[in-house]
Each structure stands twice: as C-alpha cells, then as structure tokens.
C-alpha cells in the first residue's frame, strides 16, 4: 500500500490515483483518507503533492516520499530535521514546457510587445528599431535541469545567453557564472533576467534592490521560479523609477494573487497565473512509477533532495 498524500481537489486526486495505479499494478496507491490507523505503521513510502506536514507525521515508519511536483521547498522546510528523504519530479516534459515558456516571454520582451500594447491602447502608430537577437543578452538565474534546457533553447534562437548557479557549471556556448561576484557580473550584462532558482534560505529575495540596481538601465525580468525569489517592494521601486522596464511574473509569495495586490494594475507588469510549466500528469506518473518499480527491485532510493541545499 502506498498513500497518495495531497491537497488536490477531490476530482483531481481521483484522476491521479487512477493514473498511478494503472502504472503500478503490483502496488495499491490509495488516498490518505482510505488508510486505517493500524495500516499507517506499515507505510515506508508515500507519493505526495504538497502534503500537509502533520499528515506525513502520522506515518511513523515513513522513510522516503516521491513528489509529483518539481518544486518541493515547502516540503523540505517541514522535513529539515526529519530522516525522511524527498525525491522530486525530474521530468523532460517539464523542462520542455519551461524552455518553451521562457523563449515565448523572452521574445515578448525582446520584440517590445509591452510598448506596442501601450501604443495600441493610445491608438499611437510608431515603429521602433529592432535589436538583433544576437545583441540581446539574457541572463538565467539557476542552471539546474530547467535552467540548462532554457539556456539551450534561447541559444538556438540566436540570443546571447549567460547563466548563474551556486556552484560552477560548464555549458557549451553559454557564459557561466557562479558565486556572489559572478552574480553581480552577470546581472550587469543582462538585458533580460530570467529567474529559475529553487526557493531556499539562500535564494530568498536574491533579486533585491542591490541586484536590481546592477541590471542595465531599461532591462526586464521574468520570474518563473518562486515568488520569494524577488523582493516585490524593491521590484516595484525599480519599475517606478524606470530602471526596470518590465516584469513578467508567473509566481507569487501568496497564490492565488490577492485581488487587492498592486501588481495587478501596474502598467509595467505582466501577470500570469502560475502557468509557465505545469506538470504533465501522464509523464509524471510514468516517472514516479518507474522510480518506485526500480526501488522495489534494488532497494535503492532515487536521488533525493539535499537537506542542506534544499534542491
């Protein structure tokens, strides 16, 4: 028996359970509500989707959990002092969806779409010079699976691509930076800054007034990571001063974004409802099932998230 512990609407939970059981015919994946107290002591593995920490605590012999999401920061925070290992979803479909989204919104900014949208509203006909993609510098914060996929996609489309990570990386045709000095150096060259970092104590508000000030005048930001990566007040100040030209925001510290938020009506912000890279149910279930089958055969837990780094 494998519990599926989640906060999904009931109809979505039913779909996930059906898909998981179809791929794991020798297991019995069940909803948390279906497990009897006596059965909880036998559970050593769980499949999760942003579970409530108190529910996990009811399984005293739980050794590892497999998330059906790529983002596990809330889960890691609740399990910091726990021996339970966390395996996050690493899905090529997710990387493909994210690289498509980053390319789409980079082109949106590169081709001056926000400016032309304002001109349309004012019935103003005016053409602006087009900067070649080869002269548009895009910096990526985070060079994990998603960041590397996005860097390659942007490079294919002719952009000058840079990337920053906590530790040094080497990616063909991408200028890679690391460490605090590398972050400042890359920011100073980024016409568009794309945020793809996991949210950890080390990355909380990493995009703040100091880093924003390092960006070139008139640069733009895309945040497809987590809302806590950017200090919202500092971003609003940078937009109001004109130092930052536009921000595309798909993630927020509190979701759904409150109707009273000043972000909704800001003329230089594009709001998206967390759609940049949704999990593909079929590919996610395939990967989770393959990992669990492998675990049953070998006894080896798939690569787990570092409790130290948070990713």
Catalytic residue set: 226, 274
**Cβ within 8 Å of residue 64, ≥6 positions away:** 44, 45, 84, 85, 86, 87, 301, 304
Sheet containing 219-223: order of strands:
175-178, 160-165, 137-141, 192-195, 219-223, 244-249, 269-271
- Reference 65, options 246, 76, 54; nearest CA is 76
Q: What does the block give as tokens for 117?
A: 């949208």
Q: Are 219 and 190 in contact (CB under 8 A)?
A: yes
Question: Could you give the dihedral angle defined by the CA atoms of residues 264, 269, 270 and 273, in that order, rounded to the nearest 10 degrees?
Answer: -50
d(CA 184, CA 103): 23
Sheet containing 85-87: order of strands:
29-31, 2-6, 45-49, 64-67, 85-87
Task: Provide the 8-state DSSP code for 230.
Answer: B
């Amino acid at each position: 028996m494998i519990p599926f512990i989640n906060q999904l609407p009931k109809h979505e939970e039913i779909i996930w359970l059906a898909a998981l059981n179809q791929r794991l015919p020798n297991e019995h994946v069940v909803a948390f509500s279906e497990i009897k107290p006596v059965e909880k002591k036998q559970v050593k593995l769980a499949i999760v989707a942003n579970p409530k920490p108190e529910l996990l605590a009811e399984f005293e012999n739980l050794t590892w959990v497999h998330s059906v999401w790529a983002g596990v920061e809330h889960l890691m925070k609740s399990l910091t002092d726990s021996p339970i290992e966390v395996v996050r979803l690493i899905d090529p479909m997710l990387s493909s969806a994210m690289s498509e989204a980053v390319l789409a919104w980079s082109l949106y900014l590169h081709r001056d779409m926000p400016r032309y949208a304002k001109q349309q509203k004012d019935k103003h006909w005016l053409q602006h010079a087009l900067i070649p993609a080869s002269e548009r510098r895009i910096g990526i914060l985070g060079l994990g699976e998603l960041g590397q996929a996005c860097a390659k996609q942007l490079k294919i489309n002719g952009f000058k691509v840079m990337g920053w990570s906590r530790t040094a990386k080497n990616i063909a045709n991408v200028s890679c930076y690391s460490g605090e000095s590398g972050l400042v150096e890359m920011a100073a060259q980024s016409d568009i800054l794309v945020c793809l970092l996991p949210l950890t104590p080390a990355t909380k508000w990493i995009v703040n007034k100091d880093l924003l000030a390092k960006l070139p005048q008139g640069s733009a930001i895309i945040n497809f990571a987590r809302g806590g990566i950017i200090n919202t007040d500092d971003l609003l100040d940078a937009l109001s001063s004109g130092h930052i030209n536009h921000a595309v925001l798909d993630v927020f510290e509190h979701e759904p974004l409150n109707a009273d938020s000043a972000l909704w009506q800001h003329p230089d912000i594009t709001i998206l409802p967390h759609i940049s890279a949704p999990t593909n149910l079929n590919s996610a279930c395939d990967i989770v099932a393959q990992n669990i089958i492998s675990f049953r055969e070998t006894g080896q837990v798939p690569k787990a998230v570092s409790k130290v780094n948070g990713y």
